[in-house]
Amino acid sequence: MPPRGDTRLARLATELTGSGALCPPLDRLVSAVEPDDDRRPRIVERAGIEAIGALARAGLVGAVPLCRGNPSYPRRLSTLPDPPIVLWTRGDQTVLEAPAVAIVGSRRAATTSLLLARTLARDLAAAGLVVVSGLAMGVDTAAHEGALEGGGRTVAVLGAGVDVVYPRKNGGLVHRIVRSGCVVSELPPGTPPLPRHFPLRNRIISGLSLAVVVVEAAERSGSLITARLALEQGRDVLAVPGGVLSGCHRGCHALIKDGAGLVENAADVLAALGWSAVPSRNEDRPATGVLAAMKSGVPVTVDEMVARTEHQAPALLPGLGGLKI
C-alpha cells in the first residue's frame, strides 16, 4: 500500500477510466459525494486502487464499463432518479438501446408458468423486442432461453459482478447471451451475489424496459419489487393470472386488481405497447398444445399428452424438452 498522501494510483486510475476513455475522472465523482477536501485524496486513492483491480478483472472476461455521460450509456437508464454511475457490460452494448420488455417471476415457478414465460419471450423476440430478465432460476431463465430460441436478443441484469455466474448452472446460458445480447451489472467485477444486491438490480431490469411482465408471483415475491419500481419509473406493468388454490399467483392477481394489464400471450403485451402484431404462428403446434393440456401441479404421462393434444409422441418431445429449464 502506498503512503496515504501518494495519489499516483488514483491518477493512474483516472487516466484509465477518465478523460478520453470510459468514465469521468474519479476526483470529480468523489467530490460529488465527499466535498471534504481533506478526506478526498485518500478516498480518491482507495477508489483508484479498486478501479484498477476492477478494470483488470473486467479485461479477463471482455467486460467494458459504461459511465453516465458516455454517449453509449442507455438513455432509458439515464432518466431514472438513481441511475447506475457505472454499468459493466459483456456483449453487444447496442442492445441496451433497443425496445425491450422485462419478464420476471418466481424462481420456483410451476411447469406451466415456465413454459408460458418461455413462449412469451420467444414470441416477443420474434416480434423484434429485446427480452430483459435477471438470470435467476425459474421464470428468468425461461425468459432468456425463450428469447434465444426465438432468434432474438436478451439482456441479463446480474446481482453480482459480470464475471460471476450465479447461479452456476447458467454458465452456458451466459455465454449464449453474450454472443448476441448483453450481460450487465452496476457492481464491479468480482462482486459476489449477496442478497442485498438483487433488489438494487431490479430497478435496472425495469429501467431498461418499456414494460415489465410478471409471470407467477406470490404475495411477497421479489418480482413485485420490480413491478413497483417499474410503476415509479413510468413503465407499463403487466401480469399473468393463474390458479387461485396454491397462492402462487396472488402477487399477479394483486397487480391486476391494482390496474396492471392482464397477459395471456405475447399479443397482449404487444397491444399494451402499441407494437406490431406477433408474426404468424401455428397455434396448434406441439409446444402450444403442451401448455394447454397441462394443469399446474398435476402430473401427466406422455400417453395422456398424446390423447389430449392429438399429437404423436415424437412431435411432442421438443415441447416437453423445453420444460427442462
* Contact (CB, 8 A) for 273 and 262: no
- Angle at which helices 313-321 and 302-309 cross, to 10°: 110
- Residue type at 244? V
Do 267 and 244 have their domain in common?
yes
Say yes or no: 31 and 129 in one domain: no
* Cβ-contact 99, 200 below 8 angstroms: no
Domain-located, residue 65: no
Q: Are residues 236 and 296 in the same domain?
A: no
Q: Quick one: 290 and 256 in the same domain?
A: no
| Other C-beta atoms lying within 10 Å of the C-beta of residue 192 | 11
The total domain count for the chain is: 3
Q: Phi then psi for 44, rounded to 5 degrees? A: -60, -40
Scanning the structure block, which residue is given the C-alpha cell 478526498?
A: 40
User: If we measure between CA atoms, which residue out of 98, 88, 92 comes closest to residue 23?
Assistant: 88
- CA separation, residue 98 to residues 86, 125, 138, 147, 273 (Å): 19, 12, 25, 14, 14
Q: What distance in Å separates the CA atoms of residue 14 and residue 28, rounded to the nearest whole number? A: 10
For residue 279, what pLDDT is reported? 47
86 is a domain residue = no
Q: Are residues 145 and 227 in the same domain?
A: yes
User: What pLDDT, on a 0 to 100 scale, did the predictor assign at position 36?
Assistant: 61
Which residues lie closer than 8 Å to 263 by C-beta, 6 or more apart? 120, 213, 238, 239, 240, 269, 272
Distance, C-alpha 158 to centroid of its chain: 7
Helix and strand element counts for the chain (H, E) = 14, 9
How many Cα atoms are found within 13 Å in the side-chain-facing hemisphere of 37? 0
Kindly give the confidence (pLDDT) of every residue in the chain, 325 residues in length, as a single tens digit, with 9 standing for 90 and above: 333 334 444 444 444 444 334 455 545 554 545 556 676 677 667 767 777 777 888 888 899 988 888 889 999 999 999 999 889 999 999 999 999 999 999 999 999 999 999 999 999 999 999 999 999 999 999 999 999 999 999 999 999 999 999 999 999 999 999 999 999 999 988 899 999 999 899 999 999 999 999 999 888 888 999 999 999 999 999 999 998 887 889 999 999 999 999 999 999 999 999 986 554 444 434 444 555 556 555 666 656 665 665 555 444 544 555 454 4
pLDDT of residue 91: 96
Cell of 190: 468480482
The answer to whether 61 and 55 are in contact (CB under 8 A) is no
- DSSP lists the bridge partners of residue 182 as 91, 155
pLDDT, residue 308, reads 62
Range of the domain at 33: 12-42
Do 145 and 259 share a domain, yes or no? Answer: yes
| One domain, residues 264 and 122 | yes
Report pTM.
0.76
